């Protein structure tokens, strides 16, 4: 019931008319706006959940892995990963040397739910930087040769981005925009020693492994990694006869880990976990690398 059906002038200033039509219309509009805004926020949250992803770090040369906790809510506008799909071509950039594999003497460091191995995308290059502050003299050519052979075996393309002062770390962030720009951090190849990298102590001459992104739709792929090389032990190796071949083979073994190969219990392969006479990738290594070089491409990460 309207309290003031009879027009009065002046209308009492303080008369509240909460149920009059004009005011109701006003309320309706603002409610609709609020509901629309809420729906917008809910959509954003759901989209965020759907596209959520996290970075798993696979310890170097090991078959187990520890997922790194996804960072909590970040201040608005701050990212913890680069824009997706950078440098991702529509087709693989290269093809592995071996088109038909005749050996199954290989193991993968990590496999996905469907049984296929975790891989780098063959549709984008693998950038790498080198910390050569501790490098023995003359090892640049050895590293280049090891990378060239690993690239040929896998079909994956490597791009040298220059030198760095970054040191290896088990907690290495996969995204370091301050150091490397708005992209996934390049693979770090570091000449080090047991003081800098304790896991290089003892007989361990090198370590290699990669970190993977996990999307909420189940997709996983390596995005970056680290190879650590024990400079003092390499100096000893290089001082021996045939040392360059041994040094090259050790780096190739670590690059095999970087791309996703695990050790095999087969002394005829380079991925055998003990020192041997193998100086190059053999049939099992080549078969494994060919599979690792033909993983899925994706512009989602
Ligand atoms: Zn190894």
Query: Phi, psi at residue 142, to the nearest 5°?
Result: -65, -45
**Is 50 exceeded by the pLDDT of residue 293?**
yes
Distance 74 CA to ligand 1 centre (A): 37
- Tell me what pLDDT residue 76 has: 58
3-state secondary structure of 213: strand
**Is 90 exceeded by the pLDDT of residue 227?**
yes
- Tell me what pLDDT residue 187 has: 98
Distance 207 CA to ligand 1 centre (A): 7
- The chain-wide mean pLDDT, for the chain, equals 83
User: pLDDT tier at 21 (50, 70, 90 boundaries)?
Assistant: very low
Residues, beta carbon < 5 Å, ion ligand 1: 61
- Tell me what pLDDT residue 218 has: 85
**Is 50 exceeded by the pLDDT of residue 9?**
no
Q: What percent of the chain has pLDDT over 70?
A: 74
Question: What CATH number does domain 53-70+84-292 carry, 3.30.420.40, 3.40.390.10, 3.30.930.10, 1.10.8.50?
Answer: 3.40.390.10
Residues of the chain by 3-state class (helix, strand, coil), percent to 5: 30, 20, 55
* Residues 165-181 pLDDT 10s: 999 998 999 999 999 99
User: pLDDT tier at 243 (50, 70, 90 boundaries)?
Assistant: very high
Distance 48 CA to ligand 1 centre (A): 38
CA distance 200 to 209: 14
- Tell me what pLDDT residue 88 has: 95
Choose the weakest-confidence range: 69-73, 241-245, 257-261: 69-73
CA distance 34 to 143: 61
């Amino acid at each position: 019931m309207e309290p003031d059906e009879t027009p009065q002038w002046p209308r009492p200033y303080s008369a509240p008319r909460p149920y009059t039509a004009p005011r109701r219309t006003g309320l309706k509009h603002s409610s609709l706006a609020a509901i629309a805004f809420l729906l917008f926020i809910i959509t954003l949250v759901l989209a965020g959940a759907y596209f959520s992803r996290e970075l798993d770090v696979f310890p170097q040369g090991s078959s187990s892995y520890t997922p790194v906790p996804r960072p909590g809510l970040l201040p608005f506008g701050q990212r913890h990963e680069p824009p997706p799909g950078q440098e991702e071509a529509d087709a693989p950039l290269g093809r592995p040397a071996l088109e038909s594999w005749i050996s199954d003497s290989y193991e993968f460091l990590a496999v996905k739910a469907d049984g296929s191995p975790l891989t780098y995308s063959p549709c984008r290059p693998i950038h790498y930087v080198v910390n050569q502050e501790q490098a023995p003299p003359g090892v640049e050519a050895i590293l280049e040769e090891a990378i060239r052979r690993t690239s040929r075996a896998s079909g994956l393309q490597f791009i040298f981005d220059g030198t760095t002062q970054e040191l290896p770390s088990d907690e290495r962030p996969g995204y370091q925009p301050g150091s490397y720009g708005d992209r996934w951090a390049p693979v770090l190849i570091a000449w080090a020693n047991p003081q800098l990298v304790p896991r290089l102590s003892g007989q361990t001459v090198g370590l290699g492994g990669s970190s993977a992104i996990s999307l909420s739709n189940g997709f996983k792929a390596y995005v970056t990694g680290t190879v650590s090389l024990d400079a003092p032990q390499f100096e000893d190796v290089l001082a021996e006869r045939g040392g360059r071949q041994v040094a090259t083979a050790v780096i190739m073994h670590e690059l095999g880990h970087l791309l996703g190969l695990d050790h095999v219990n087969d002394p005829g392969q380079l991925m055998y976990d003990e020192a041997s006479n193998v100086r190059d990738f053999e049939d099992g290594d080549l078969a494994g690398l060919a599979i690792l070089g033909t993983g899925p491409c994706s512009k989602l990460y």
